[in-house]
C-alpha cells in the first residue's frame, strides 16, 4: 500500500496509538504491524529491541513502500529510535519526543512522572529528553511491568488492577506530579483507574494523542497529504491473527477485521 503510514508495536498495545492517528488523520492510509510472535518487548535487551525494530521497519519499507514510520511501542521508541533515525531516509516518529514536547508546553512542569515498562524506564530515554527540554525539572520514573498483562487480560477496572496501580504509583502518593507521562501503549486503557489514584490535579500525557499531533504537523510541513476521506487500515501480525482481532478491539475501540500473517524474513 504505497503512500501509507507504517505503524508498528510489539503487539496489540500500539492500537491505542493507531486509534489516535486514524482519528486525527482521517484521509491517510495506515499499515499496522503487531509483532505478536515476540511480544512482550518490555523486559528485553536494547540489542534485541533494535534488531526486532529494524526487521519490522525493513519489512514495511520493502513490502509497502511506507512514507513515514510511527514506532508506536514505547519500549522500542526508548531503545531503538536513535539507531533507526540514523539508518532510514523516511521520517521515523517515536513516542518519547511527542510526550516531552507536550510536557515542555505545560504551564506547571517542575515535577513530571513517567511510567512504562522495565526497558523504557531502564533506558532513561524520557528522563534524558525531559531534562534537556525543561529546565530544572524533577523527573520521577517508575516501571510498572504487570500493568500491560492486566490490560490484555481485560482487567482494566477491578480491585486487583486498582491495587497494583496503587502499589506502583505509591511514590507519587504524597507528592503527585504536575504531569504523568503514560509511557506504555497499554496505559491509556487504564486512564480511569490511574486518574482515580493520582487525583484531578495531575495532567495525564497520552503517547498516542501526542504522537498523532506530531505526525499531523509533520505531514502538513513536509509531505503531500491525501485530501479526500479515504482512510484505510491494514493489519498484519507475526502470530495468531484471531487473538489480535478479538482482544485488539479493546485497544482500538472498534472491530478489527482482515488481520493477516506477516513473515518478516525474506
Query: What residues make contact with ligand DGL under the rule CB under 6 A?
Result: 9-11, 13, 39-42, 73-75, 116-117, 120, 148, 184-186
Q: For 208, phi and psi rounded to 5 degrees?
A: -65, -45
Closer CB to ligand DGL, residue 14 or residue 219? Answer: 14
Closer CB to ligand DGL, residue 73 or residue 203? Answer: 73
Report the candidate in 87, 56, 86 with the shortest Cα–Cα distance to residue 72.
56
Active-site entry in 73, 79, 214, 219: 73
Report the distance separating Cα 36 and Cα 256, nearest Å.
Answer: 15
Q: Is 99 an annotated catalytic residue?
A: no
Residue at shortest CB range from ligand DGL: 42
Task: From residue 59, give the alpha-carbon distance in Å to each of 12, 69, 241, 257.
Answer: 18, 12, 18, 22
Report the distance separating Cα 8 and Cα 236, nearest Å.
Answer: 9
Closer CB to ligand DGL, residue 134 or residue 151? Answer: 151
Report the distance separating Cα 136 and Cα 96, nearest Å.
Answer: 19
Closer CB to ligand DGL, residue 188 or residue 245? Answer: 188
Contact status, residue 100 vs residue 141, Cβ threshold 8 Å: no
- Give min distance, CB of 222 to ligand DGL, in A: 26
Active-site entry in 15, 180, 184, 259: 184
Q: Is 73 an annotated catalytic residue?
A: yes
Contact status, residue 50 vs residue 80, Cβ threshold 8 Å: yes
* C-beta atoms surrounding 254 within 10 Å: 10
- Give min distance, CB of 234 to ligand DGL, in A: 19
- Give min distance, CB of 236 to ligand DGL, in A: 16
- Give min distance, CB of 2 to ligand DGL, in A: 27
* C-beta atoms surrounding 62 within 10 Å: 11
Helix (H), strand (E) at residue 234: strand 232-237
What positions carry a catalytic annotation? 73, 184
Amino acid at each position: 500500500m504505497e503512500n501509507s503510514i507504517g505503524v508498528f508495536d510489539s503487539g496489540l498495545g500500539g492500537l491505542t496509538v493507531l486509534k489516535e492517528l486514524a482519528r486525527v488523520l482521517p484521509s491517510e492510509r495506515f499499515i499496522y504491524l503487531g509483532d505478536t510472535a515476540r511480544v512482550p518487548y518490555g523486559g528485553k535487551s536494547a540489542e534485541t529491541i533494535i534488531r526486532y525494530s529494524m526487521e519490522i521497519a525493513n519489512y514495511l519499507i520493502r513490502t509497502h513502500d511506507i512514507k513515514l514510520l510511527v514506532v508506536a511501542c514505547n519500549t522500542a521508541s526508548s531503545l531503538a529510535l536513535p539507531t533507526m533515525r540514523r539508518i532510514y531516509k523516511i521520517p521515523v516518529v517515536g513516542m518519547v519526543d511527542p510526550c516531552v514536547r507536550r510536557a515542555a508546553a505545560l504551564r506547571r512542569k517542575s515535577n513530571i512522572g513517567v511510567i512504562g515498562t522495565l526497558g523504557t524506564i531502564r533506558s532513561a530515554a524520557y528522563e534524558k529528553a525531559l531534562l534537556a527540554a525543561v529546565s530544572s525539572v524533577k523527573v520521577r520514573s517508575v516501571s510498572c511491568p504487570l500493568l500491560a498483562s492486566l490490560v490484555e487480560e481485560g482487567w482494566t477496572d477491578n480491585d486487583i488492577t486498582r491495587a497494583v496501580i496503587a502499589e506502583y504509583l505509591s511514590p507519587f502518593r504524597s507528592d503527585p506530579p504536575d504531569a504523568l507521562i503514560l509511557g506504555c501503549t497499554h496505559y491509556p486503557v487504564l486512564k480511569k483507574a490511574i486518574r482515580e489514584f493520582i487525583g484531578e490535579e495531575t495532567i495525564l500525557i497520552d503517547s498516542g494523542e501526542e504522537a498523532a499531533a506530531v505526525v499531523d504537523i509533520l505531514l502538513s510541513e513536509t509531505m503531500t497529504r491525501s485530501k479526500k476521506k479515504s482512510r484505510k487500515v491494514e493489519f498484519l501480525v507475526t502470530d495468531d491473527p484471531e487473538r489480535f482481532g478479538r482482544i485488539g478491539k479493546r485497544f482500538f475501540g472498534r472491530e478489527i477485521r482482515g488481520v493477516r500473517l506477516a513473515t518478516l524474513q525474506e
